[in-house]
Amino acid sequence: MSPALIGVIVCLLFSALFSGVETAFTSLTVFQLEGMKKRGWAGALVARLARKPETLIATILVGNNTVNILASVLATEWVLQAFGSGALAAMTGILTFVMLVFSEVTPKRIAINHNEAIASLLSPFIFVATIVFKPAVLVVNGLSSLVTRFFSRPQKAALSMDTVIQMLSMAEHLGIIDYSRTLMVRNIFRLNVTTVQAIMTHRKDVFSLDKDMSCAEACRLLMPREHSRIPVFTGSTENITGVVTLHAIVNEVLNQRGQTRLAAISREPLFITHGKLAGQLFTIFKERKETFAVVIDEYGGLAGIVSVRDLIEEIVGIIYETRHEKSRERVGQQPDGSWLLAGETPLSLLLELSAVEPVESPPAQTVAGYVSWVLDRLPVQGDRLETELGEFQVIAMRANRVEQVNYRPPQA
């Protein structure tokens, strides 16, 4: 066999290696790389090479182009010796076909299905190639940097929140995890963009007790309710000065101290601003060993109250104390594809349902606030409006507040 023909075959083999390793490395996910670090020196070498993608890609492309050009030169020499110049056109077509099938498509298809194994197996080969082609790689990367500098944009995080959510959706679609788990993870991420104002109990709905009330009277008022922690006010219900637990009240009554004033057993509450993010509140509750907070508006007045239960319900959904408790579900899908949304539904959840990024960021935290903002007046029952986020119809009001709306997302 002609040395030139042997050289062509060797070059095609190297071309296949470069093509396969390129696909193997570029298809590795962040999670795969983290796992491979713990699988011996080969996995660690893969992770090390992947940390410098510019050098890795440049090395592979320089190597691949080098062997492809060399294969063409050797093939031309062999054809001229064996068949003469008349066969050059046929040789070009045959070589292109062979390169495409055996040195490009086939190795790439194998590598994409076995990316971890191929990357580990060929990592020593690529490591040596980075040393051999280093001078050429430095020149190529230098020239490439000059060109890309004019088109550069701020780099995004390698693993953003949107990326994780997309991965979760894909895993759910493939049946790897179920919908409920996907929803919980989505809700955890939503805590970092949802303010306390969107999940708190509004001041109009806050049940509180006078600090001068006796424990016996408080116990009587609490009998039909299901509160474990109760705000205590001084003078006005807007002036929350303490918080008392049901346990402490009942303890006083059972120990024949029913005339004890709530002021004597209450403690100072945790105060937070209404703009605090729900995710931050979780951290505050944990650090201060609290489960209840009084929410203050920008003027220092009472905005509402929030508990750790409110935060947990944002993740796992509504929690009911008894089977007879009235439904408090915020979101429910209708057979016709529309949604019933409670007015207190966080705006972040509405944005997810609509799958639309609004042109102007609404100055609202809830669906009720968004509807009022769009109408630029107090809504009334029966109001219909079309917005960039979809169609809304107000179907229930309570004391000038939007209680429930029917929502239809925009058509894709």
Pair 292, 357 in one domain = no
Looking at the domain assignment, is residue 412 inside a domain? Answer: no
Predicted confidence pLDDT, tens digits, the chain (412 residues): 678 888 889 999 999 999 999 999 988 888 788 888 887 888 889 988 888 888 999 999 999 999 999 988 888 888 787 777 777 788 888 888 888 888 889 999 999 999 899 999 999 999 999 999 999 989 988 888 888 777 766 555 556 667 777 777 788 777 778 877 887 888 888 888 888 988 898 888 899 999 999 999 999 999 888 888 999 999 999 999 999 999 999 999 999 999 999 999 999 999 999 989 999 999 999 999 999 999 998 888 899 999 999 999 888 876 665 555 555 566 777 888 888 888 888 888 888 888 787 877 788 888 988 999 999 888 999 999 999 888 999 998 887 888 889 999 887 5
Pair 48, 98 in one domain = yes
Pair 160, 141 in one domain = no
Last residue of a domain, one of 149, 172, 207: 149
Domain of 207?
194-314
Looking at the domain assignment, is residue 119 inside a domain? Answer: yes
Whole-number pLDDT of residue 152: 62
Pair 32, 63 in one domain = yes
Looking at the domain assignment, is residue 223 inside a domain? Answer: yes
Looking at the domain assignment, is residue 320 inside a domain? Answer: no
Last residue of a domain, one of 92, 118, 149: 149
Looking at the domain assignment, is residue 305 inside a domain? Answer: yes
Whole-number pLDDT of residue 158: 56
Looking at the domain assignment, is residue 242 inside a domain? Answer: yes
The whole model's pTM is what? Answer: 0.58
Pair 233, 264 in one domain = yes
Pair 215, 288 in one domain = yes
Pair 185, 198 in one domain = no
CATH number of the domain at 364, please: 3.30.465.10
Compute the distance between CA of residue 367 and CA of residue 394 in angstroms, rounded to an integer.
11
Pair 139, 18 in one domain = yes
Looking at the domain assignment, is residue 289 inside a domain? Answer: yes
Pair 177, 137 in one domain = no
Whole-number pLDDT of residue 127: 92
Pair 310, 237 in one domain = yes
Looking at the domain assignment, is residue 323 inside a domain? Answer: no
Pair 9, 128 in one domain = yes
Last residue of a domain, one of 92, 121, 149: 149
Compute the distance between CA of residue 66 and CA of residue 70 in angstroms, rounded to an integer.
6
Pair 118, 38 in one domain = yes
Overall domain count for the chain = 4
Compute the distance between CA of residue 110 and CA of residue 177 in angstroms, rounded to an integer.
27
